[in-house]
Chains A and B, each alone.
Chain A
Amino acid sequence: MERPADTVADSAGRGVSAVAEPLLAVNAIEVVYSRQAMVLHSLSLSVPRHGIVALLGANGAGKTTTMKAISGLLRSERGEITKGTIQYDGQRIDRLDASRMAARGISLVMEGRHAFGGLSVEDNLRVGAFTRRDGAAAVAETLDMIFSYFPRLKERRRSHAGLLSGGEQQMCVIARALMARPRMILLDEPSMGLAPQLVEDIFGIIARLNREEGVTFLLAEQNAAVALRFATHGYLVENGRVIRDGLAAELASAPEIKASYLGFADEGMAGFTERKRWLT
């Protein structure tokens, strides 16, 4: 069943603060893989300027698919947006090639890290600046800014990224995304496979980047407990549909979230180790 566009916009706007136009608006998209498997059903969400929005859901809910739809990566996976639109800063981006997004100001940090293992950390970061046209001096300045957020990366700038620890690799790919000076970063499961303290550190840096550099974030997470602590808004996705959304503080106590055990299994961090339950 398709919902009329106006109700959709309404549902997307619900719970979002009074900022007039969101930076990103996903309007009732439907995504089909290989012409047969429909994975997203009329999914809508909006991300306010300078906000941090959490996209929550269990394994297979459709978080990564949503991120790929926004960043134009579906095509290379034989996926297709068959209905709906995606608007960024008031312009449609759903027909754009993935490589055009960085120049527009959107950077995706893919699930599972994806550092360029055979390249040095610094080369990884320089690839992140591929689309910039503002000169070497400006790029060097961004590099310094990034190293101030990630001092660990500065120490390891000459190592192959493939030899970094999991946490350092996660920092490396976030840093790489920042090199494009994006207005918005899509972050797919930054906590995956990291120790609780490291998860705290990384979310802390996200919050600082949001506060100090004005970067807008859309975070896909299974670890709802942590994500909602740092986010302003949240969406809960199940089987490719948004089943609940609202202010982060309200969502944290919502029965749907509790019921789905997303990071709240034994309250707080313990839920992190329980995640694999959702495979069954």
Chain B
Amino acid sequence: MSPLSFFFEVLIGGLLSGVMYTLVALGFVLIFKASGVFNFAQGAMVLFAALNFVGFTELGLPWWTALMVTLAAMVVLAMAIERAVLRPLLGQDHMIVFMATIGLSIFIEGLAQLIWGTDVRGLNLGLPEDPIFIGDILVSRADLMTAAVAALLVLGLSLFFTLTRIGRALRAVAEDTQAAQVAGVPLGMIWAVVWSAAGVIALVAGLVWGARLGVQFALTLVALKALPVMLLGGFNSIPGAIVAGLLIGASEKLAEVYIGPYVGGGIENWFPYALAVAVLVFRPTGLFGSTGVARV
């Protein structure tokens, strides 16, 4: 295998693993964009979704039924959060809402384990294990399918945001909450929709990460993978989350392979943060983060 092919193999493998970072980051970005709140509970939602799916399949439901029931559970969870946490805190400082999401994450983790127990469960999505060759480059088919699902998810979300009445209202709330309210957009409904969408993303993230790591408490920690992605891509940019996720995935794998041997390996854990910080020095709002198009 030529050095160039090897480079591309590492690059493509990295890009595909970057898709998984993007998946986690998208949930954060969506909520941050719509309400300015950093949702600490996103990792807990990933665990909750994955545990529900595995739990329902273990009860004997066919996978698509389990998927639908879990989706419904995520929507119910979103509506409950809107009612019990967000609505009472309307108008409070974002820091207070952030603190509330810390409490929320502990609650969701507890609830998930109360219902389904604390055992580590395996999750087999039945994705093909054997890689395929593209030219002389080896690519994981499971990763390719994950990327395809993620792409469909992003496409679906962006169509929803641009073409539907609710999607348009949601962008309006993200731009200017009060002005959207006086135009007749009910905040509670929009938040429930946004948190449901974040729940759907958490479900997809929970499935792909759960299949890789096993469905267990540590799944909440995949949230840590999203942090450098958001630092790099900006907290309120969906394209930013996509590009930054891919960038981090690719560069950390390349760094692992090409720099790792000189520093004794283990680069993957800190490299994304180093990259994000390096970029922030030059662009404090991240690659895509902005304060919005504004001219006064």
Contact = CB atoms under 8 A, between A and B. Distances in A.
Interface of A: 71-73, 75-78, 97-103, 107-108, 110, 113-119, 123-124, 126-128, 130-131, 160, 162-166, 173, 176-177, 180, 193
B186 A99 contact: yes
Nearest 5 interchain pairs by C-beta: A102-B184, A162-B293, A131-B184, A114-B179, A116-B175
Contact of A99 (B165, B185, B296): B185
Contact of A71 (B182, B185, B294, B296): B182
Contacts of B91: 75-78
Interface string B73-108: 000000000000000001110000000000000000
30 contacts: A75-B91, A76-B177, A76-B178, A77-B91, A97-B186, A98-B178, A98-B182, A99-B181, A99-B184, A99-B185, A99-B186, A99-B187, A101-B184, A102-B182, A102-B183, A102-B184, A103-B184, A116-B172, A117-B293, A118-B175, A118-B292, A119-B168, A119-B171, A126-B165, A127-B180, A130-B183, A163-B293, A166-B296, A176-B183, A177-B183
Contacts of B172: 116, 119, 124, 127
B136 interface: no
A101 B90 CA distance: 18
A123 B180 CA distance: 12
Given A98-B178, A162-B295, 16 more contacts: A78-B91, A98-B182, A99-B181, A102-B182, A102-B184, A107-B182, A110-B179, A113-B296, A116-B179, A117-B292, A127-B168, A127-B185, A163-B293, A164-B295, A176-B183, A177-B183
A130 B169 contact: yes
Given A73-B181, A131-B184, A126 B175 contact: no
A128 B183 contact: yes
A128 B294 CA distance: 20
A165 B186 CA distance: 29
B253 to A, nearest CB: 34
Contacts of B295: 162-165
Nearest to A68: B178
B193 to A, nearest CB: 13
A165 B168 CA distance: 23
A238 B11 CA distance: 67
* Range for the number of chain B residues in contact with chain A: 20 to 34
A118 B178 contact: no
B296 A130 contact: no
A130 B180 CA distance: 9
A245 to B, nearest CB: 26
Given A76-B90, A131-B184, A163-B293, A114 B169 contact: no
Nearest to B189: A99
Contacts of B181: 72-73, 76, 97-99
A118 B180 CA distance: 13
Contacts of B296: 113, 166, 193
B58 interface: no
B183 A127 contact: yes
Contacts of A173: 179
A117 B182 contact: no
A180 B184 contact: yes
Contacts of B169: 127, 130
A113 B172 CA distance: 14
Contacts of A75: 90-91
A115 to B, nearest CB: 8
B47 to A, nearest CB: 32
A114 B178 contact: yes
Nearest to B170: A127
Given A77-B91, A118-B293, A162-B293, A130 B178 contact: no
A261 B241 CA distance: 52
Contacts of A124: 172
A218 to B, nearest CB: 14
A162 B183 CA distance: 18
A120 B202 CA distance: 30
A110 B178 contact: yes
Contact of A130 (B90, B165, B292): B165
Nearest to B165: A130
Nearest to A176: B183
A189 B186 CA distance: 25
Nearest to A104: B184
Contacts of B180: 116, 127
Nearest to B162: A123
B168 A101 contact: no
A114 B293 contact: no
Contacts of A165: 295
Given A116-B171, A118-B171, A162 B178 contact: no
A223 B280 CA distance: 45
Nearest to A76: B91
